[in-house]
Amino acid sequence: MAPPKTKAPSKAKAKAETESEERLDAEVEARVEAKSEAKTAPAPRAEKRLKVIDNPTITEQFANQVLDVLLVNGSTVSITMGAKRNIRDAIFGERETVVAVNTRLTVDVQTAEALRNALNRVLLMAKQGPGTIN
């Protein structure tokens, strides 16, 4: 038995396929060129850091409780923190544990994001154990 006859592709169809392949090749070349240009393009300038002046009269506050975190006016984050304390009504009275508010930090959203990122880095180092901090 003879194999079945197949139609030879028409000249127009072959030309259309060739043009389609050429367009695809040109697209791929353009993408590769764009990627290589992006790699060689100069990086955006890093923002110049301002000089930090440490005021030694600022007191440090210890807190072991985050009491409240609020978004104020959609652009400010307010954090209220406190510390557990034992108090007595009288010298020989019963002790009562309370949480005393001792810190309120209010920052804009960008600063809150920077604080979050810094805390995440430090907490990751703390989880990794001694010898990895600083």
Domain residue limits, the chain:
65-128
Q: Is the pTM of this model over 0.75?
A: no
Is 30 strand, coil or helix? helix
Place of tokens 């307010």: 78
Radius of gyration, alpha carbons of the chain: 33
pLDDT digits (tens, 9 = 90+) for 5-62: 555 555 665 565 566 566 656 666 666 565 555 555 555 666 788 999 999 999 999 9
Torsion of the alpha carbons at 55, 105, 65 and 57, rounded to the nearest 10: 20
How high is the pLDDT of residue 97?
94
d(CA 110, CA 86): 37
How high is the pLDDT of residue 91?
83
